[in-house]
Amino acid sequence: MFTGIINDLGEVIAVQQKDEKLRRMTVVCGYNPDSIDIGASIACSGICLTVVERAQAGNRSSFTVDTAAETLRTTTAATWQRGTKLNLERALRLGDELGGHMVSGHVDGVAELTARDDFVDSASLSLRVPALLARFIAPKGSITLDGVSLTVNDVKGDTFSVLIIPHTLKVTTLGSLQPGARLNLEVDQMARYAARLLETMPG
Ramachandran category for residue 70: left, alpha or beta (phi over 0 → left; psi -120 to 50 → alpha): alpha
Give φ, ψ of 65 to 5 degrees: -130, 155
Tell me which residues are annotated as active site: 2, 41, 48, 50, 68, 106, 151
> What is the CA 156 to chain-centroid distance, rounded?
23
State the Cα–Cα distance between residues 181 and 101, nearest whole angstrom.
Answer: 24
CB atoms within 10 A of CB 163: 16
State the Cα–Cα distance between residues 120 and 164, nearest whole angstrom.
Answer: 12
Which residue stretches of 90-165 are H helix? Answer: 131-134
85-90 vs 41-44, strand pairing mode: antiparallel
Strand partners, 185: 109, 145
| Segment holding 193, helix H or strand E | helix 189-200
